[in-house]
Amino acid sequence: MKNLKTLGVLALAATALTAVLGVGSASAFTKFTASKVGATIEESTIENFVITMTGAKTECSNITYTGVTQALESTSQMLTPKYEGCTAFGLPSTVTNEGCTFNLTIGTPTGNTVHLEPVPPATTCTIKIVSKSIFGECLVEIPGPQTIGGFTYANGPAGSNDIVISINATGISDHVTKSSGVCPLTVGTHTNGTWTGKSTYKISGGSTQVS
């Protein structure tokens, strides 16, 4: 999945997950379907991916997700994110994924969620946000594992054979390990992070839908 737009969520997630581009209610969907197994997942951004922590925003214009379809029908899908084109807290920034994967789930007893998980055999991982200039520095870590709600899945416009993923997630846990100068965050653990964003994901040489 490529170019997920608005990290103000890992979205995850989200990324507002309220897409109504397809047929029927997104809340009624219970599975991901794919025309073939092992197909490369592609993504294009509709809205930037934005994560907000205590009122301070990080925004990424380009998020590339790597992954392949795991089954013809499934309630989950694994994707690994890479972030580019990011700004944070009014400072230049880099957002790096250190060993995390997103496990998207649909129609489970706990609803649509994304599980920010370490890649085995690791038991922990982090999404790290570093913002630095001559005016100050912020260092934020979003740890995994944690489960994030607020994702909505819907089919794209008729004939598109893809899925629209919308993110409107709250309650993201993060840890600020460094704050100096003009950095607006306080050192310590916060649980009020939010993610918003929207993207289209499709598969190479085939079709993918929710049903």
- CA dihedral 106→108→114→120, nearest 10 degrees, is -110
pLDDT digits (tens, 9 = 90+) for 91-132: 889 999 999 999 999 987 767 888 999 998 999 999 999 999
Q: What is the mean pLDDT of residues 136-142?
A: 95
Averaged pLDDT of the chain: 84
pLDDT digits (tens, 9 = 90+) for 55-80: 899 999 888 888 999 999 999 999 99
What's the pLDDT at 2? 40
pLDDT digits (tens, 9 = 90+) for 184-194: 999 999 999 99
User: How sure is the predictor about 37, in pLDDT bands with cuts at 50, 70 and 90?
Assistant: very high
pLDDT digits (tens, 9 = 90+) for 175-185: 999 999 999 99
Express as a percent the part of the chain with pLDDT over 70.
87
User: How sure is the predictor about 210, in pLDDT bands with cuts at 50, 70 and 90?
Assistant: very high
What's the pLDDT at 55? 87
Eight-state DSSP code of residue 19: -
Cα four-point dihedral sign 11, 16, 22, 27:
positive
> What is the separation, in whole angstroms, between the first and last Cα of the chain?
19
Q: Output the pTM of the full model.
A: 0.82
What's the pLDDT at 110? 66
Domain ranges of the chain: 6-210
**CA dist list (Å): 186 to 53, 55, 69, 70:** 10, 12, 40, 41
27 phi, psi to nearest 5 deg: -70, -20
User: Other C-beta atoms within 10 Å of 36: how many?
Assistant: 14
- Alpha-carbon distance of 30 to 137, in angstroms, equals 43
